[in-house]
Every structure is written in structure tokens, then in C-alpha cells.
Homo-oligomer: A and B are copies of this chain.
Amino acid sequence: MKRIGFVGLGSMGLPMATNLGAAGFEVTGFDVRADARHAFARTGGRAADTLAEAFAGQDATILMVVNAAQAQDILFTQGALSTLPEGGVVILMATCPPAAVQALAAQVEATGRALVDAPVSGGVVGAEAASLTIMAAAPRPVLARVKPVLDALGSKVVVLGDTPGQGATAKAVNQLLCGAHLAIAAEGLSLAEALGVDTAAMLDILSGSSASSWMLKDRGPRMMQDEPPVTSAVDIFVKDLGIVLEAGRDARVALPMAATALQLFLSVSGRGLGAQDDSQIIAAYRALRGHI
């Protein structure tokens, strides 16, 4: 593993590709947006002009794209996979539904190549610091080959199993908790607001008690701001909780808390606030109280 293609140089992908280069890999990066390619080139990376260059002659190609449909389009509709050498590995690091990852893996394997299911948590901060948690699933020999690549991107590689889709499931479970915790923090603070309790004192209590969550401590203070900076948008959770519920639906698993949380995110997005910081899930609760 020396030559690595990288597709998707967004807010996560750009620092990840850069970290790979810094770790000694020969990285060829591609993004459909020219400005993203230029940004990668400015970090000293090799920016490809075409998608095919990110596959041709590579040992592995990482996909850090928006969703499973984009991965499907790149690999098969546009046919980039056929330019990856036989025995090459596709490392899918985007957040995708488990069933879609399983189906993609079967298609990739049918061409004599392998797919590693490897979604991440840790956000832009983790991508920049190469401290991502990577949830990996693939046959063990394939995992062993790509391990140095994953180690260059994250500080924790957890192997969930040998079947692609198990990493995606772990990511879905992770996002289930994140999204639902956000809704609950907003629900609690909304009740405090309605009953005239000092929300700063309330946050102080909750953050130090058995009621605390990572999301409460990080997003709770921003729920009290009128226009908080955007670190992650409401629409990210519309997408991710959608994937969670798709995973549940595919496996016929009822997820009542996650389903409720998604409805609240949808209501905020439906009011045109989908690009706002995800702490603004509290706007759904304020709307329910008539404070539009």
C-alpha cells in the first residue's frame, strides 16, 4: 500500500488526504469541484484532473463522498472501478446505510477487487488531527493490508467484523445516539425555558450530573445563542438519522426514539433552517410552544 487515490476533498476529505500525504503515501486526490482540487494542490498534494486518475494504477482508492448513491455512481455508472488494478481496494469512509454498503461490496468483489467498509466519527476536528475513530469491517486479510492507511487517518481503528456493512451499522448506531441526544438536550432546555428556570444554571447542573451527554455539553450552550456558529448543520442529521432509520427498516428493527428525533430535525429543516447549526433543533421545540 503506497499509491492511494482519494475522491471527495470536502471539509473532511481535504485534511484526511493531506494527512495521508504527510504520512508518506503517494496520494492522488480528486473532487468534482475545481476549487477543492486547487485547495488540495496548494497543500502539496497531487490533484487529478479526472476521476479515473484517482483509480488508475492505485493500490487503494478512498471514497469520502456524500452518500452511497455517489459511491455507486463513481464506481459503476461512471465506471471508475474498472481502472483500479485487479486486487485493488476501495475504502468507503462515507456514512452510508449498511445494506447499501453490503450491496456495493458484493458488486466490487465480483470484479476481483475488495471493499473495506470504514466510516468515521470525530468530525472535521478529528479529520484534521488524524484522530478519527474508524469503524472497519472487511475480510481480515484485506483489513491487514489497509491498516497502515487507516492508522494514518485515525487514532482508533475498531474492527467490527469481516462483513462490509458492519462498520456502517456501527456508524448508524453512533449517529442514532448523537442525533437523539441533541433532541433530548433541546427538549429538556425547552421545558426549563417554558417554566422560567434559569437555563445557564440548568446547563450547569445537567453537565455535571448523570443527565450529561457529550452533545449536551457541546451543543447545549449554543442552543441558548441566537445565531450560533455552524459546526455541523441540521441537515446532516436529517441525512444521518434517515440512514439510521433505513438501517432499522431494512432489518425490521423498531427505533421509536430515533424516529421521533428525525421528525423534529425535519421540522427545523422544513422551515428553511437546514443549514443552521444542529443545536438549532431547539427551534422545533420553540415552534411547538408557539415561539416561532
Q: What residues make up the interface of A, taking CB atoms closer than 8 Å to B?
A: 98, 121-123, 133, 135, 156, 158-161, 165-166, 169-170, 172-178, 180-181, 183-185, 187-192, 194-198, 201-202, 204-206, 208-216, 218, 244, 247-248, 251, 253-258, 260-261, 263-264, 285, 288-289
Q: How near does chain B come to A34, taking the closest CB pair, in angstroms?
A: 32
Task: Give the number of copies in the complex.
Answer: 2
Chain A interface mostly: helix
Please determine whether B177 and A216 come into contact, CB atoms closer than 8 angstroms. Answer: yes
Cβ-defined partner of A208 (8 Å) among B156, B173, B257: B156
Instruction: Using A178-B211, A187-B176 as known contacts, say yes or no to A194 and B133 having CB atoms under 8 A apart.
Output: no
Cα A170 to Cα B193 in complex, Å, equals 11
Cβ-defined partner of A197 (8 Å) among B166, B183, B190, B248: B166
Interface centre among A173, A176, A216 (most CB of B within 10 A): A173
Please determine whether A212 and B211 come into contact, CB atoms closer than 8 angstroms. Answer: no
Please determine whether A206 and B187 come into contact, CB atoms closer than 8 angstroms. Answer: no
Cα A196 to Cα B247 in complex, Å, equals 12
Please determine whether B174 and A211 come into contact, CB atoms closer than 8 angstroms. Answer: yes
